[in-house]
A and B are shown apart, each in its own frame.
Chain A
Amino acid sequence: MKKLGIFPLLFLLAGCTNSTVLNPKSTTGKEQAFLIWFGLGIMLFVLVIVFFLLARVVINYREKKNGLEEYRPKFISPKKQRKLELIWTIGPIVLLIILAIPTVSTGLKQSPVAEAESTMDGVHIDVTAKQFEWTFIYETDKEKHNILLLPEGEPIILHLSSMDVIHSFWVPELAGKVDLVPGKPIVYRIENPEIGVYKGKCAEYCGVQHANMTFTVKVVAKEEFEEYIAK
């Protein structure tokens, strides 16, 4: 059992360098990556304790070769048992409260909201999806398929809706996903994107070509963006 413990660490080292989610290029993405690391940290702590206890117990209490004659089950006294049970009830509660604090604060801030409830400042872009194409409409009514330009450093307010089935807008480097639900426009906000070219994907299964419903996101300097949408 013990050997299994080092596996995840090895894999993690190998994987993080390629990870898009853990190398985010926007404030929104960074907050999310922090939450993933934070959760992972607390959880690795729990894992280590469980693995350690289990390994010890399994090694120490394997059936002895000299058989059952010698065997007397060792019992923990009721008092100690109550204490132990309290420890592993309260311990996790404490850990979960620690995890719940950033969960609540970031969750409240970042959760996508229904269109009607939103009054936000920033660069507004309409994102419309249909099988299997993305359409992006800017404030100047400029319309473009499958390519999205964003200005660097601005808050981006996406107004997402679908013309047919449910899709999901996902640019792993920039932020988590938001669904595009027919008849229910949703607003999602990405803070502070950094210059670069990123791959966007549809992340909600939407039909035959779902895997190929990708798009390209280019984050450019503000002037370039203004020029682009004016054209």
Chain B
Amino acid sequence: MNWSEITVHIPFFGESIFLTIDVFIAWILLIVLVIGAIVYAFRKRKFPVIRDYLYTTNHRKVGTLYMIFGFIFFLRAGLDALFIRLQLALPNNNFMDFQLEKYNETFTSHGTMMIFFAAMPMLIGLMNIAVPLQIGAKDLAFPFLNAVSLWLFVAGGVMFGSAYFLNSSPAIGWTGYAPYSTAVYTPGAATNFYVFGVQISGLGTIFAALNMIVTIVRHRAPGMKLIRMPLFPWASLVTSFLIVIAFTVLAIALYLLMFDRLFGTSFFGGEEGDPVYWQHLFWFFGHPEVYVLALPAFGLFSDIISSFSKKPIFGYPAMVISLALIGFLGFMVWAHHMFTVGLGPMVNTFFAVTTMTIAIPTGIKVFNWIFTMHGGSLKTTTPMLFAIGFIPSFVMGGVTGVMLAVSAADFQLHDTHFVVAHFHYVILASTILGIFAGLYYWYPKITGYQLNETLGKWHFWLFLIGYHMTFLPMHLTGMQGLPRRVYTYGSDEGMTALNFTSTIGASLMGVSIVILVWNIWQTNRQGILVGDDPWDGRTLEWSVASPSPEDTFTPMPFIECTDPFWDAKTKGQKLKTAPNPRPAPIDEHTVLPFLMALAVLVIGFGLIYQSYLTAGIGGVAIFALFIIRSFRDEHTSFHKEGARHE
């Protein structure tokens, strides 16, 4: 059957859209799902809850929404991954219509969504939930801005995700290399979806990072010096600085690309332009981005390993310094992605050596984790299993990174499945295992319930086995000459068995995700409350109620050491309290952030289809919302409804 010939035809924004059959099926599934969700919410009377979350600026609720939307995009991008693997399962395969352009669209959506709309948001969600609780802040410094960040991310993600449903998925790879991404080679809406989807959610990410920095600098509990802060907030702080620097560069690159595409400039193409400039800008963002994904996971694993080993972290100062060093060095290595574009021998060698140096602080962290466990009493709960699984997996990704830093070796390995294996090893081990660990660990703080441990262990083992089965063989297919971003290979290339193994591994990971979803569903249905401190934790978040209330830390604790809660517990005391703490930020009930993001979404769609009238309407709407906002003052409403907060 020839799938691509079955099409449905719909007019949209003056263009007509052909829906191939898979898109048509996706539409039907989407409609069924949305109707199902509405009916469910109606039956269970969930509308007040939905309204509450739509209006919320509370850090835990915003964080939860980050997690939920991030997880939805994770499922979508995961489906893309399965389609990629099904197409690559056998040589000369024709899985549905996932060849040629469709394949290109699929890996582009997969990569872009995983990085920008799944991994980062879920990490930011965990930061939102845990950082204020760990440092003794009542909320983030700017609760309103926090909600704006969230909805901007959702707007960007929904916009990017809708491209598929309008049959105009971008097909430029997640790296969007010029000149292929300029209007000369990819005219029309598809590539615009990439430009504006990433731009809009990126703006939200920058706001979130600024918010996090101010929160951590300004709103720690009295006595909690920076050197008494747990490592997850530390990692969040360093990460936020990386975001502020890296994402502004990405924003600039995307604006320039927007000008090239919409307004006829030629920064990255044509006679005057230079496509290599795009690569510099992109990777000056792109490499630190890897650490934006990894550092929060490092912090989180540090806390988890320390908790479940019943020991303080080994070498705390070294852990902090190495976080900062990794962040700093992360900005000096971007051209290792460009060894083959002819920057010259000196440049290549310089970047090869700087890249290698990152292995040193990373190694320090690995050994410190191992020696945190040394001499402890390890409780292999699900979060701890993820942490133990993380260490060898991550190191395997790290060592291939060092191999890739060898510039002349990279000439061979660059842009092959070896690289695909390398970055999945690194990102899945740190970010994805980290997100899972954090989810199991802090689930009691989010909902009051604890996820089922048996199902959790099934999830862990299936995922870990599937992960190694998927990506280990890719090192070899890469060295057998399989470039990345190709939809087929020959049966004579001797890589059939390896590719087939990969595909089986990917489906194991798929099964493990189903188990996770089932676990969440069951846990919430049974609704067994587990109390404030189910893991016998060490840090402040375990001293407040579960789920964390909107008004935490009254009275405000006074901190005298690292792991203050543990210290108090072992001495059989209560946490000391501070006599007169600083006034805390105030959360608000407002729908303005949601509406602002909606207006930005309208602007985005207007620009994507170059309907400047639509964009203008969105612009007016956002201006109006700013005006409304400037007439309001959360302090007034706080004093009126004082009872809710006190």
Listed in ascending order, the chain A residues whose CB lies under 8 Å from chain B are: 1, 4, 7-8, 11-12, 14-15, 17-22, 29, 31-33, 35-36, 39-40, 42-44, 46-47, 50-51, 53-54, 57-58, 61-64, 68, 71, 73-76, 81, 84-85, 88-89, 91-93, 96, 99-100, 102-104, 106-114, 117, 164-166, 168, 170, 172, 175-179, 181-184, 186, 199, 201-211
Contacts and interface: CB of A to CB of B under 8 A. Distances in A.
30 contacts: A1-B392, A4-B392, A4-B468, A11-B498, A14-B498, A18-B480, A20-B480, A36-B409, A36-B413, A43-B400, A61-B309, A61-B376, A63-B378, A76-B374, A81-B314, A88-B363, A92-B363, A103-B406, A107-B349, A110-B345, A113-B342, A165-B275, A166-B180, A172-B412, A176-B410, A177-B340, A177-B411, A177-B414, A211-B100, A211-B485
Interface stretch (B69-77, B486-494, B545-553, B589-597): B486-494
Contact of A201 (B363, B373, B409, B481): B481
A82 B400 CA distance: 29
A117 B366 CA distance: 43
A54 B468 contact: no
Contacts of A47: 395-396, 399
B77 to A, nearest CB: 18
B560 interface: no
Interface stretch (B44-52, B144-152, B354-362): B354-362
A205 B348 CA distance: 22
Given A103-B353, A111-B348, A166 B392 contact: no
Nearest to A178: B340
Contact of B412 (A4, A21, A61): A21
Given A22-B479, A61-B377, A64-B377, 11 more contacts: A39-B403, A46-B363, A50-B395, A57-B370, A63-B379, A88-B367, A99-B406, A104-B349, A165-B177, A166-B179, A178-B342
A161 to B, nearest CB: 11
B: contact size bracket: 35 or more
B310 interface: yes
Contact of B468 (A7, A18, A106, A110): A7
A8 to B, nearest CB: 6
A152 B479 CA distance: 24
B478 to A, nearest CB: 8
B256 to A, nearest CB: 17
Contacts of A46: 363, 395, 399
Given A18-B495, A73-B311, A40 B403 contact: yes
Contacts of B379: 63
A58 to B, nearest CB: 6
A100 B356 contact: yes
A114 B342 CA distance: 6
B481 A20 contact: yes
B476 interface: yes
A26 B340 CA distance: 19
Nearest 7 interchain pairs by C-beta: A176-B411, A74-B375, A15-B476, A43-B399, A18-B494, A211-B486, A186-B342
Contacts of A177: 340, 411-412, 414-415
Given A73-B376, A111-B344, A210 B485 contact: yes
Nearest to A67: B377
Contacts of B346: 108
B215 interface: no
B80 to A, nearest CB: 16
Contacts of A7: 468, 472
Contacts of B400: 43
A96 B360 contact: yes
Given A181-B341, A209-B100, A100 B275 contact: no
Contacts of B359: 92, 96
Contact of B403 (A43, A76, A172): A43
B382 to A, nearest CB: 15
A203 B472 CA distance: 21
B377 A68 contact: yes
A22 B412 CA distance: 10
Given A61-B309, A107-B352, A85 B364 contact: yes
B318 interface: yes
B275 A20 contact: no
B414 to A, nearest CB: 6
A186 B472 CA distance: 34
A99 B481 CA distance: 24
B180 A165 contact: yes
Contact of A184 (B269, B274, B413): B274
B101 interface: yes
B377 A85 contact: no
Interface in B365-409: 366-368, 370-371, 373-380, 388-389, 391-392, 395-396, 399-400, 402-403, 405-409
